[in-house]
Structure 1
């Protein structure tokens, strides 16, 4: 740690001294004081810092570094967002806005706080359950929503009190308009938190909640549309709708509401229960609608349609896209050779950086189309997932020459394939030629399982007893 950081850490460890110093220290020292307080979980001092923040912007990513790279960039700041620290920051913003509502006539020059934007995006990438001491994306969303509602209610109370004193709401409304704080965040909502987030997004007040990445799980069509319509269009970058069982008709109802997000780069629709193989009266019309709506997203770079049955329909669904995709996830989509042939010839193949074709049987007639596709993506591909694809040693051996031409490949997922120990050794030996390859997710070798009767699917291998001595 630098001497400056050590001094900041010492100061924030004694709150009374820190509070007295905040009116005197130069504004340039606030960022290092914030980092020190955040690292040591000095929640009261964090609140004091936010309440007197001398800059218009307070960005967690700028102050603490992006979580994926934080160990390299800011080794002092840890890797996970502490629940107590994030709550302290949110509560401090609420307290600051309450003060501005209660003292509307106070000259802004009397307060050192200049905070106008609180940026909390990027704190929960690849969010997983990290224990009670860390704030998940879901709990962070609920905390922000409740804070937004609290400030809005307090504003209404102040307006009512001011209206009674002035015998008319017009004067009070003019006097009670604080500058407010725009809070940028990634939001995760499910059926449990739907109501509180809906109310927060509809609330009018100085605590303005603005979404960058929107994740919704297990919501109805009406609930999904309601929230999408409540989001401010500017700045929405990702929409992830999973386990919502929307079906083709539901997607056709939801996707028109995405066209207002001009900056949308990523759309994830896994487990949407789309079955293009079930021919009904509305299937073709639904597919045309879905394709047309995808075509109305001009900046789309990432698309996930995993676990939808899209056999023979890939050309139709992706044909209207205006720009090449950089990430395409089609796991368990029952693709046919013609679908892979279309991808190989499409504008997307030379641009793809991530490709997920897990859950397809490449042991037979899909193997050659896969080889042609990898040849077309070889100059750009960084991440390839072929999990649960029934790849045997023989299949992998024929695929390896093409795979080794993917010179930029960084991550290769092969988990769930029936590969033997010699096959895996061949894989590791051949892929040593790939200079950027950092992660290979491979299965337990089939010869490490105790002999059992043959099973129909490679997925069932995991139900066998693993011979740990091997």
Structure 2
């Protein structure tokens, strides 16, 4: 689009639209981009980098895939809290590995540097952007600065060096590659890592994957559980884990079918269904129950919830 400032008949709105669409990079952005292109220089500069620039540079490095710099930033992160926010949707396996390697460096330090204060890393997408929480209340221009509260149940008060908050998602009965890697990494470091999962979605039950999850994830920390596309008789397998979910506030039953998972199309009779549901544990903390596409409890919900 060409705009002539000397043409009186030109629509002024065109200039306004152009100004809104084009925002030239600031000198700070240009300096950060230049710094990131020189990995060795960027890493060496971290010791003297102002705290307020850490979230900005981290987000830029994360977006552009400078995994070496990401790895180096973790052990010197100057805030107690790091949330990836919506950027988690762009996190591939290589980026995840780089960040976990950074945590390994931090855990291996016999004497922690005075600068690093990292205690919690959030792998959930509940925040809009990467941000750092500071218990000192020091202001950051574009990021929230208060320490993010994390409410744990009594059973979650396990003394660990680092806490990783994540959201484990199941897709078609299998764990994706990144989630599998994270679980295995945390399991190997269970003495120093507490994997805190607030929301668990099980879509299509694969027993091996469920067992793998609960080797690492503390069931009593789960606050929201979604069961989707599983058979009613498979709930019996989940019962031991459900009994451990002492902090479960929200339960969603979505497309729970009343046929056997082995391909038997014969529907379960009402007495068998009631027997299976009655075996479910009492969830004392449960506040919300969502039921969608569960045909066998239509009109009988009160009976099943007794």
**Residues 82/227 of structure 1: CA separation in 2 closer, same or farther (3 Å cut):** closer
Residue 114 (structure 1) aligned with residue 97 (structure 2)? no
- How far did 1:267 drift? 2.3
* Partner SS for 1:213: strand
| 1:261 matched residue in structure 2 | 245
**Residues 78/261 of structure 1: CA separation in 2 closer, same or farther (3 Å cut):** closer
- How far did 1:37 drift? 1.1
| 2:60 matched residue in structure 1 | 36
Question: What pairs with 1:413-428 in structure 2 (closer than 5 Å)?
Answer: none
Distance 1:230 1:84 in 2: 22
Distance 1:198 1:79 in 2: 20
| 1:315 matched residue in structure 2 | 302
RMSD between superposed Cα atoms in Å: 3.9
- How far did 1:208 drift? 3.0
**Residues 26/216 of structure 1: CA separation in 2 closer, same or farther (3 Å cut):** same
When the two structures are superposed, what TM-score results if normalisation uses the length of structure 2? 0.62
Which has more radius of gyration?
A: 1
| 2:293 matched residue in structure 1 | 306
Match of 2:40 among 16, 27, 39: 16
Match of 1:182 among 138, 154, 163: 163
Note the alpha carbon deviations across 1:393-447, whole angstroms, 9 max, x for none.
xxxxxxxxxxxxxxxxxxxxxxxxxxxxxxxxxxxxxxxxxxxxxxxxxxxxxxx
Does the 8 Å contact 2:88/2:125 carry over to 1?
Answer: no
| 1:284 matched residue in structure 2 | 274
Question: What pairs with 1:34-433 in structure 2 (closer than 5 Å)?
Answer: 34-61=58-85, 67=86, 80-97=90-107, 99-100=108-109, 104=110, 107-109=111-113, 112-122=115-125, 180-189=161-170, 190=173, 197=183, 201=187, 204-219=190-205, 224=210, 227-228=213-214, 231-245=217-231, 247=232, 249-252=233-236, 254-255=238-239, 257-274=241-258, 278-279=268-269, 281-290=271-280, 293=281, 296-318=283-305
Note the alpha carbon deviations across 1:359-395, whole angstroms, 9 max, x for none.
xxxxxxxxxxxxxxxxxxxxxxxxxxxxxxxxxxxxx
Distance 2:104 2:278 in 1: 47
**Residues 41/311 of structure 1: CA separation in 2 closer, same or farther (3 Å cut):** same
Does the 8 Å contact 1:288/1:316 carry over to 2?
Answer: no
Deviates more, 1:88-97 or 1:183-192: 183-192
**Residues 6/288 of structure 1: CA separation in 2 closer, same or farther (3 Å cut):** same
Q: Which structure would you say has the larger RCO, counting Cα contacts within 8 Å and 6 or more residues apart?
A: 2
**Residues 46/238 of structure 1: CA separation in 2 closer, same or farther (3 Å cut):** same
Distance 2:209 2:64 in 1: 40
List alignment gaps of at least 5 residues for structure 2.
1-24, 129-158, 260-266
When the two structures are superposed, what TM-score results if normalisation uses the length of structure 1? 0.43
**Residues 229/23 of structure 1: CA separation in 2 closer, same or farther (3 Å cut):** closer
Does the 8 Å contact 2:71/2:98 carry over to 1?
Answer: yes
Does the 8 Å contact 2:230/2:255 carry over to 1?
Answer: yes
Distance 1:191 1:86 in 2: 19
Does the 8 Å contact 1:198/1:227 carry over to 2?
Answer: no
- How far did 1:288 drift? 3.8
| Higher strand proportion | 2
**Residues 43/223 of structure 1: CA separation in 2 closer, same or farther (3 Å cut):** closer
- How far did 1:309 drift? 2.4
| Matched pairs, number | 241
Distance 2:43 2:28 in 1: 18
Distance 2:62 2:180 in 1: 31
**Residues 306/3 of structure 1: CA separation in 2 closer, same or farther (3 Å cut):** farther
- How far did 1:3 drift? 4.3
Distance 1:124 1:269 in 2: 26
